[in-house]
Structure 1
Amino acid sequence: MRIGADVAPVELSRGGVTLRPLRRSDERAWHAVRARNREWLRPWEAILPPGRREAPLTYAGLVRRERKQWREGSAQPYVVTVAGEIVGRVAVAGIRWGAECGGSIGYWVDQAHAGRGVTPTAVALAADHAFAAGLHRLEIAVRPENFASLRVAEKLGFVDEGLRRSYLYIDGAWRDHRVFARTQDMPRIGRYWTQGD
Structure 2
Amino acid sequence: MPQLPSLPQNAHLRDLLARFPKNVEPLMIFVNAVLRSEGALTIAERELIAAYVSGLNACRFCYGSHVIHAENLGVDPNLLENLLNNIETAGISNKMKSLLRYVEKLNSLPNRLVQADLDAVLSHGWSEEAVFEAVEVTGLFNMMNRIVEGGGVTFDYAGNAQGHTSQNAGPEVAKNSYLMFLETIQQQVADREKAAR
For the superposition of Structure 1 and Structure 2, which TM-score range results when normalised by the shorter chain? under 0.3
More strand by share: 1
More helix by share: 2
Higher relative contact order (CA 8 A, sep 6+): 2
The alignment's TM-score, normalised by the length of structure 2, stands at 0.26
The alignment's TM-score, normalised by the length of structure 1, stands at 0.26
Structure (1 or 2) with the larger CA radius of gyration: 2
